């Protein structure tokens, strides 16, 4: 960890208000690890032994309903904490975390959480801000499920992923990690058949293109109109 310079983390939300010596103190307690695409970092209900900072890649958060169906409430981008069960007074993880693409993460034992929050004011403040933003995203997703038609929900989900992780390719935006049609269905509370039908129709209209788990929004404004956003 001595080779990981403090400057690499200074701009990330949990560290942005901390001094370099404070960042160094936190880094000296961290364990780095790389996870391949599709690897489960932890399962819903596992003992929350560690919490994590995502340095690179994206985390897919998965919940399983009582009847066994999978739901994807959100994706967590690089630069954010995840698996922060101690922040909610939990000793188990409330959801499953999967590497949507290859990721690099730092982790700390959960018993460090209380000390970080009490000792480093900036760490606590920025963490609560991130949690608030994440809760806002979840509330927006719930509102979509309650008020929008299926076509609007799928369009809105793709736009969100493009804005969160996308790479510009000319006028198009390529979603920055592999995602299947089944996973889009799990994000939007619909079926694989419906998502496949919509994406096929949108591909014919030149709004999106997809191949091998890669989706590109080729006409962002038209997809925005389909999402029903105001």
Domain borders along the chain are: 6-145, 148-227
CATH number of 6-145: 2.60.120.10
* Residue 169 CA, distance from chain mean position: 22
Contact predicate 144/189, CB 8 Å: no
**Structure confidence at residue 230 (pLDDT):** 60
| CB burial string 110-128: b at 16+ within 10 A, e below | bebbeebbeebebbbebbe
Range 60-80 average pLDDT = 90
CATH class of the domain whose range is 148-227: mainly alpha
Q: How far does Cα 90 stand from its chain's mean position?
A: 20
Residues 146-166, mean pLDDT to the nearest whole number: 92
Q: How many CA atoms lie within 13 A of 71 on its CB side?
A: 15
pTM of the model: 0.87
Segment 9-30 shows an average pLDDT of 90
CA–CA–CA angle 77, 215, 104 (5° rounding): 30
What pLDDT, on the 0 to 100 scale, is given for residue 2? 45
pLDDT tens readout for residues 41-51:
999 999 999 99
């Amino acid at each position: 960890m001595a080779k990981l310079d403090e400057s690499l983390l200074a701009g990330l939300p949990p560290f942005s208000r901390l001094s370099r010596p404070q960042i160094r103190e936190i880094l000296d307690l961290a364990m780095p690890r790389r996870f391949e695409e599709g690897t489960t970092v932890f399962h819903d209900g596992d003992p929350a032994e560690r919490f994590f900072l995502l340095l690179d890649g994206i985390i897919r958060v998965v919940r399983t309903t009582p009847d066994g169906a999978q739901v994807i409430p959100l994706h967590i981008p690089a630069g954010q904490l995840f698996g922060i069960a101690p922040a909610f007074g939990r000793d188990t993880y409330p959801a499953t975390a999967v590497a949507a693409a290859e990721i690099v993460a730092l982790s700390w034992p959960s018993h460090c959480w209380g000390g970080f929050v009490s000792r480093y004011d900036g760490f606590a403040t920025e963490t609560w801000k991130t949690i608030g933003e994440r809760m806002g995203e979840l509330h927006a997703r719930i509102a979509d499920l309650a008020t929008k038609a299926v076509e609007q929900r799928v369009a809105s989900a793709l736009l969100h992923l493009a804005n969160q992780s996308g790479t510009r390719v000319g006028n198009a935006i390529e979603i920055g990690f592999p995602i299947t049609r089944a996973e889009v269905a799990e994000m939007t509370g619909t079926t694989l058949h419906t998502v496949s039908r919509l994406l096929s129709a949108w591909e014919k209209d030149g709004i999106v293109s997809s191949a091998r788990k890669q989706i590109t929004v080729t006409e962002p404004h038209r997809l925005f109109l389909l999402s029903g956003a105001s």
